[in-house]
Amino acid sequence: MTLRLTSAPVSGIKKRSSTARTHPSPFAAHARRKPTSSGAGVKGAASDWGVDDPLPDQGSSQYISETAPVQNVVQAIQYIRTGMFDELPARAGMNSTRIAEVLNLRRSLPPLASVAHVHTLLDAPTQVEREIVELVQSGRVRRLIVPGRGGDAAGLGDCLVLAEEWEELVRGNPALGASVKEKFLDILSRIGTSSAISQSVFTPDEYRALIRAGFLVSSSAFTQGSLSIASLPNLPQTTSTPSASRSESTPIRGKPIQSDAQARSATLFLSLPNTGTYLRLLGAGRAHLLTLLRRSSSAEAPLSLLKDRWDGAVETEKSFHMAKRARGEFAGVLPGKTKKWKDLYGMQFRWVLEEALGAGLVELFETGSVGPGVRCL
């Protein structure tokens, strides 16, 4: 039997013992935590600070006026007219009937711009008001006063409209005859800055047609407040019957027979078709914005967070949302399921924010950390 010799005993190679002690870690005494729990805690603390805690206030913000692409009142009116709604998304989540309803309502709204909105965009009160007066006196812009909608900044009754757009609406209305259109436009050019017209300048058929078309409103619809009869323009009167003309114009002891109540009932106010729909939609947008802002306990929130609340948790065309849709995962609700599209027909967030700022319902301030902040007043 042969003896097999190896070099292991003399090679100097030794197997390390499994009982060898290692140096302890310097972090061994610290408590161990799961990374997921610590990350969630940091995220939750940041979100709580942004939603519930008061934001740092470093003074008033000029974000809106500095970023608005307008230089004068006419540009501001055009900007307000075209920026009220967002474009219809490709994946709207609405059937064809609802899409047609949204587009038809947008098309039917009058070309109005509130004075408060114009002041927000330009942020130069004296200069803006002087420019508005000059444009109204020159006939390029008409100032439409809607009685009963509030006369302060938060009111909805002080609006501006370009004279050329008003004329286009009158000429394009199929419910009015050619003679009525020409007469009405002629009177508009002669009444100056007044918003009231005496009923006597039209025949009964003419003013009824204009009321049905939405270009005139009877003062009998406004039961509160007094009307300035002396401010009515001095226009030639149209007499329907000799007896009616004699009874209205025959004076008794130097005073007309017509009482103040009869004079008020005979006063017509200028209007535009679907003005009521426009004002109701504007009021609903303001109210919804304040509701979203009051979700925070301090009634204030960063501008970006408030915009996310306004738009809702909708899916977008961003790459990560598209990847989720491709994998069949949830990427957000469709726009048609949000209040922005169900009740407000896609009203743009910045547009309604500018309206609320001009009306004095909210204020914008600098935070210094998370961008501009919005506070409810």
* Whole-number pLDDT of residue 370: 86
Q: Do 228 and 356 have their domain in common? A: no
Of 276, 309, 337, the last residue of a domain is 276
Domain count, the chain: 2
Distance of CA 313 to the CA centre of its chain: 20
Give me 359's structure tokens: 């009306």
Q: Residue 269 in contact with residue 194, Cβ under 8 Å?
A: no
Q: Do 196 and 155 have their domain in common? A: yes
Asked if residue 162 is part of any domain, the answer here is yes
Q: Do 296 and 331 have their domain in common? A: yes
Distance of CA 112 to the CA centre of its chain: 12
Q: Do 174 and 240 have their domain in common? A: yes
Q: Do 239 and 91 have their domain in common? A: yes
Q: Do 70 and 172 have their domain in common? A: yes
Asked if residue 128 is part of any domain, the answer here is yes
Q: Do 200 and 267 have their domain in common? A: yes
Q: Residue 220 in contact with residue 265, Cβ under 8 Å?
A: yes
Q: Is the pTM of this model over 0.75?
A: no
Asked if residue 51 is part of any domain, the answer here is no
Q: From the first residue on, what is the mean pLDDT of each consecutive set of 10 residues in the chain (377 residues)?
A: 54 54 56 48 41 79 91 94 90 88 94 93 92 93 76 67 94 92 91 83 90 84 41 45 40 41 63 92 93 90 91 67 60 79 93 93 90 91
Helix pair angle (178-190, 163-171), 10° resolution: 160
Residues 6+ positions from 266 with CB-CB distance below 8 Å: 198, 199, 200, 219, 258
Q: Do 70 and 196 have their domain in common? A: yes
CB atoms within 10 A of CB 353: 24
How is residue 172 annotated by DSSP? T
Q: Do 254 and 332 have their domain in common? A: no
Asked if residue 308 is part of any domain, the answer here is yes
* Whole-number pLDDT of residue 212: 92
Asked if residue 46 is part of any domain, the answer here is no
* Whole-number pLDDT of residue 293: 93
Q: Do 184 and 321 have their domain in common? A: no
* Whole-number pLDDT of residue 12: 56
Angle at 319 between CA 317 and CA 323, to 5 degrees: 100
Give the 3-state secondary structure percentages of the chain, helix then strand then coil, rounded to 5: 50, 10, 40
Asked if residue 323 is part of any domain, the answer here is yes
Domain housing 344: 285-376
Give me 157's structure tokens: 């009754």
Of 276, 297, 320, the last residue of a domain is 276
Asked if residue 37 is part of any domain, the answer here is no
Asked if residue 11 is part of any domain, the answer here is no
Q: Which residues pair with 252 in a beta bridge?
A: 255
Q: Do 148 and 256 have their domain in common? A: yes
Of 276, 299, 332, the last residue of a domain is 276
Q: Do 69 and 202 have their domain in common? A: yes
